[in-house]
Chains A and B, each alone.
Chain A
Amino acid sequence: MTAYLIRRLAYAILILIGVNLITFWLFFKVNTPDDIARLQLGAKRVTPDAIAKWKAERGYDKPLVYNAAAQGMARFTDTIYFEKSVAMFMLDFGRADDGRDIWYEIRSRAGPSLAVQVPVFVVGLGLNISLALLLALFRATRFDFATQVFLVAMMSISSLFFIIAGQYVFSKLWHLVPISGYGGGPDAIRFLALPVAIGVFASLGGATRLYRTIFIEEMGRDYVRTARAKGMSELAVLFRHVLKNGMIPILTGVVVVIPGLFIGSLVTESFFGIPGLGSYTIEAIQAQDFGVVRSMVFIGSVLYIIGLIATDISYTLVDPRVRLES
């Protein structure tokens, strides 16, 4: 397994370089350094001199990837790409175009994002699996049919609707929780109760139906029939055999998203006023802030790679037949 992990990590470095290059190319295909300067300096009374000074101050006055005027290695190192990207691989994310420290911003926003996403993930996963098991247990009954209709309806509705409806009912009509906002410490519970409940509720439809299908497929297998023939109760079959074996395909989709929880959710954070990372990338794209965009894409890529490797490792933990080999 060690050899496998080393190989995956080596691939990861190449992937990160590739992602970084593509991000750089795409960003500067759409925005020129002049555009960035103009946006930062505002729409009024911007002079060419002010633009030149802004670019020089932030290193945007250099060629993008190749500096023909320089000598030797400086042809590659005295460029925007090199100066903006290489330090990032040393985890020095630098400063946003408005002068603010990117790493500070990421750290301060990650907490609120995780405060919403982790409970949504944990409670949601638990509830989805429980409900899926229940449906598998009551399969082909009126309860199963009715619940499935309900779940399909849930899948068809945008999460935005759940947010607006939730805010309307629980905060505006019943006045039970704040409509939006965020607080630290124990006070956070008041603010997180509704977004977490809505996040869990909105994820019910798709996930529960998928897990139900997985469990029902498992219930039709020979080893389940054998267990029943040996006199095991249906509950024991479900929890001791079906759940365990059904977890393998569930893990595929679940473990990979765990690192990504850190990134947050754009819509939820926006509507509930949660100062998380959800909107950081979007705001940076709108503000044409390359420093933030490349940092967030980099972190997103790293987290995704970690998620994939963690998924592979988790296979070996839940299924002893799986071996990771190079």
Chain B
Amino acid sequence: MVAAAVLRVRTRRAALAAAVLALAACGEVWNDPYPAAGAPDNTLYSSFSQRPKHLDPAKSYTEDEAEFNAQIYEPPFQYHYFRRPYELVTATATAIPRPRYLDAAGRELPSDAAADAIATSIYDIRIRPGIRYQPHPAFVEANRALPREAIARHHRLADFGPGATRALVAADYVYQIKRLAHPRVNSPIFGHMTDYIAGLKEYGETLKGAQKALEAERGRGAWLDLRRHDIAGVSVLDEHTFRVTVKGKYPQFLFWMAMPFFAPIPWEVDQFYAQPGMAEKNFSLDWYPVGTGPYMLVENDPNARMVLLRNPNFRGEPYPADGEPGDREAGLLADAGRTMPFIDRVVFTREKETIPYWNKFLQGYYDRSGIASDNFDQAVRTGSDGETQLTAEMEARGIRLSTSLSTSSYYLAFNWLDPVVGGPGERAKKLRRALSIVVDFDEFISIFLNGRAIPGQGPLPPGIFGFRDGPASVNPMVYDWSADGGGRASRKAVTEARRLLAEAGYPDGRDARTGAPLVLALDTTDRGPGDKARLDWYRKQFAKINVQLEIRGTDWNRFQEKIRKGNTQMFFLGWNADYPDPENFLFLLYGPNSAAKSDGENKANYANPEYDALFERMKNLDNGPERQAVIDRMVAILREDAPWMWGFHPKSYGLAHSWVANGKPNQMARNGLKYQRVDHVLRAQKRAEWNRPVVWPFALLVAALGLLGWLGLRYWRRSEAAVAVQA
């Protein structure tokens, strides 16, 4: 009996020791969220929340996808990482080309020729020799003629063998521009580019016919070799130079050439992925991108993690030696001249929820983080001088905060086609201006955005040419400028809005002719309980002048359809810049771009002939006093007409641990990973310090459960031994 009890005790002790040993075997840190496979230390850990849909540079058009694509593909140009305002510099090109202008007869025009006289602009782009692609099986000839059965046996790209490489040539850029017109690729910018690249539209038709004929002969999915079909406006001049002919004058074209849409694609890769059986195995450019950039995608599990590895064939690029004032003092130029990239590997883990994401950042398992609204107070506080500062907890961890204004505008639009709020009439104009005063976006920013935005004064966000600082930046229709205390803008009083409303024919919120209350409708996709506070806030704003607001909640499809058909009265939208040029914002209100009339991006359907004429002039001007004057006039017209309530421009807040160097927010350049550096020794030390396992409460919990079990057993034995009636 005693021996059995001793045995039981020994068995328990052995089990406990085994459990402790098993846990100890996991290493000093037990909560490391990365699988134990030996990863190189020089790794940056980041996250993503939305799975990328397209990694094919001809299709990809979202920021989530750019996070990966911009590290892999190299268009001819890129944005300078540090300079502001944003400035184009070369990537694979040797220089930023100056376009040559020709008139309709093909005669060369001077660089300052009037836009009307320019029939075509010619861009000759020369790329650096010696740039090589990442290793890829497509560059092995035998891999481009594989039988379907052989492909069926492969599950990963690595199964095709080690791959090979080749040098980048100008023809690869031309091939990619041709892909924009491929009927199978269906690039989102094809329609837009047909307005500018000479012959692109016709080329699309040619390819459509060629694809049809090819498929009739060889079956669906047969590879269409684009080298056999020439495009009028794009040509190879020599091995390292290609020419793009643009219709008219379109200075913004260079910005487009800094996007992955214009990254090179080798014909070998196109042929490799077009083989029968490839698509069924997910072998496509959408899944396995191929580029010349500093990184290559080696693991693509968009439901769990994506891994970038340093491209062994990357030529190396010197770290910038200059930036804007303050960059050197901030230590951002300490690596000037060193060869990039600095990091060997980047692991992106999918995080759908903010709670685990934030906690993993605090534990040191993510190197950088944004700040969700739920965590804002934990991370950031506003100092007595109104300055945004980190909380003591964050500072104690050595975390750094960086803020920047997004090149985005969020606005509440009035549908110009609506008989009540739309149109150029004085009555509607005054109504719009009255509403613009009472919908207090300063308050909105404070309540719903934790102060992370600045109120809009017009369509242009700060950082874009044409935006003005100081008193000139203030919209005089909504704000009054006061010179006190260094100058500040204050929203006009509600009484002013009431006056305008009365002048519009709605004294005290009622139609002066019928006496009926003024009821306006806001179309929105927000309708769940989480949106109630925001929608109630809107109602409250309108109620300040006794205007009733009806919320028309609907799903995204119907919402979009209503906007396209012009069946809305008011709605809320936003726009994120494609490139840092005022044209990219001011075109949102250009009449011929009306959503209802031409399916364009002018969702408010705003139309003003003077504005349209100025827009046509402004878009072709170079940045300078003349362009600024035109923009000033355009903004003044918009403020007067008030087709939008000018909403806000968000500020982005980013946090980084002390071991991450060289991070500077850049709203245009998405290829920022090559600049980053990580002190992995410090990171390992901090992780160990912050994540020491605390075992005693768990042991106590197990002991308490054991005690409970023992008491239960004792009670049971007693009750079993008891007799029903005592003698």
Contact = CB atoms under 8 A, between A and B. Distances in A.
A and B bind: yes
Interface of A: 30-32, 35, 38-42, 44-50, 53-54, 57, 95, 98-101, 104-105, 108-109, 134, 137-138, 143, 164, 167, 170-184, 187, 190-191, 233-234, 270-273, 275, 279, 283, 288
B282 A180 contact: no
Given A181-B349, A183-B36, A176 B189 contact: no
Contact of B356 (A179, A184, A190): A179
B146 interface: no
A100 B282 contact: yes
State the 8 A-B residue pairs at the shortest beta-carbon distance, nearest first.
A47-B191, A183-B35, A181-B33, A275-B304, A178-B33, A180-B356, A35-B557, A275-B303
Contacts of A101: 279-282
Contacts of A108: 301, 303
Given A49-B191, A143-B712, A234 B720 contact: yes
B186 A50 contact: yes
A173 B692 CA distance: 10
Contacts of B54: 98
A179 B357 CA distance: 9
Given A42-B61, A271-B356, A175 B279 contact: no
Contacts of B188: 41-42, 44-46, 50
Interface in B1-54: 23, 26, 29-37, 51, 53-54
A147 B205 CA distance: 74
A281 to B, nearest CB: 13
B31 A179 contact: yes
B665 interface: no
B303 A271 contact: no
Interface string B290-314: 0000000000010110000000000
B192 A271 contact: no
Interface string B36-78: 1100000000000001011000000110000000000000000
Counting contact residues on chain B (CB < 8 A from A), the size range is 35 or more
Nearest to B350: A273
B691 interface: yes
Given A46-B599, A187-B36, 19 more contacts: A41-B186, A44-B601, A45-B189, A45-B601, A47-B192, A50-B190, A50-B191, A170-B698, A174-B693, A175-B692, A176-B694, A179-B360, A180-B33, A180-B351, A181-B34, A190-B30, A270-B353, A273-B350, A273-B352
Given A53-B183, A273-B356, A279-B352, A100 B287 contact: yes
A253 B14 CA distance: 39
Contacts of A44: 61, 188, 578, 601
B31 A171 contact: yes
Contact of B184 (A45, A57, A172, A183): A57
A187 B353 contact: no
A238 to B, nearest CB: 12
Nearest to A287: B53
Given A171-B31, A179-B33, A184-B35, A38 B351 contact: no
B329 interface: no
Contact of B691 (A48, A54, A175): A175
Given A44-B578, A175-B30, A180-B351, A167 B186 contact: no
B720 A57 contact: no
A91 to B, nearest CB: 14
A31 B555 CA distance: 10
A30 B557 contact: yes
B284 to A, nearest CB: 6
A123 B472 CA distance: 69
A270 to B, nearest CB: 5
Contact of A40 (B53, B184, B692): B53
Interface string B338-380: 0000000000011111011001101100000000000000000
A183 B32 CA distance: 11
Contacts of B601: 44-45
B286 A31 contact: no
Interface string B683-727: 000000001111101100000000000001001100010000000
Contacts of B29: 175
A272 B356 contact: yes
B350 A275 contact: yes
6 contacts: A35-B557, A47-B599, A50-B191, A101-B280, A190-B30, A273-B304
B499 to A, nearest CB: 38
Contacts of B187: 50
A187 B35 contact: yes
A61 to B, nearest CB: 13
Nearest to A56: B183
Contact of B30 (A177, A183, A233): A177
A57 B215 CA distance: 13
Contact of B282 (A38, A47, A104, A190): A104
Contact of B26 (A32, A143, A190): A190
A191 to B, nearest CB: 8
B389 interface: no
B356 A176 contact: no
A30 B559 CA distance: 12
A273 B473 CA distance: 45
B658 interface: no
A179 B359 contact: yes
B620 interface: no
A264 to B, nearest CB: 11
Contacts of A177: 30-31
A270 B693 contact: no
Contacts of A164: 355
B90 interface: no
Nearest to B696: A174
A30 B304 contact: no
Given A30-B557, A44-B601, A176 B359 contact: no
A45 B698 contact: no
A255 B626 CA distance: 77
A113 to B, nearest CB: 11
A95 B221 CA distance: 14
B698 A176 contact: yes
B454 to A, nearest CB: 24
B31 A178 contact: yes
A233 B720 contact: yes
Nearest to B52: A98
Contacts of A53: 183, 186
Given A100-B287, A273-B350, A176 B53 contact: no
A176 B693 contact: yes
B252 interface: no
Contacts of B693: 174-176
A95 B283 CA distance: 13
Nearest to B351: A273
A170 B695 CA distance: 10
